Structure 1
């Protein structure tokens, strides 16, 4: 089972990857939205903001967040690490229910460029 530190490191790696994108993917990564990533097996939620082509984590909360972020991810810690390392395909994980992504329709259309 991935630790909180490993999950935070995976989010940092994802943020670094997003920052180095180009074209349509860079435009999608440059959205300015609140973000939460709920790690179900650790019962923690990373909350922050997607801005300037990065994900900036502001806080780690025990349990679910009190406020609903504009972009919400839910998964296990191992799945987060595997996704970021390229070992788990996002579309398959999302389709099977291992990963949950919630956002407004416009945001979902933009985010698909990142996936």
Structure 2
């Protein structure tokens, strides 16, 4: 309830601070708050982000926002969900093919004639 993307929200942190709580019993610490947890996403903004990572984070956030709206709509029925799954599969194949073509261009750059 008081977390976003696995990070404890500032509301709950400010309450703990206001109540002068310096220590929290381990049983109240969720595994997802651990530094040792392998995260599915790595696009959480921080003040230490490099400019390129910031651009990637912005693209990621835009994609999450748009996909959330699409998923919410698709969840209204089984058929809409199936349509979206098929579309996801097609898009994934297209992106993987694009990535492979891009790698080929880097490996075998076109030489210009002089």
Task: Give the TM-score of the pair, scaled to structure 1.
Answer: 0.26
- Which protein is bigger by CA-based radius of gyration? 2
Greater RCO between the two (CA within 8 Å, min separation 6)?
1
| Higher share in helix | 2
| Higher share in strand | 1
Task: Give the TM-score of the pair, scaled to structure 2.
Answer: 0.26
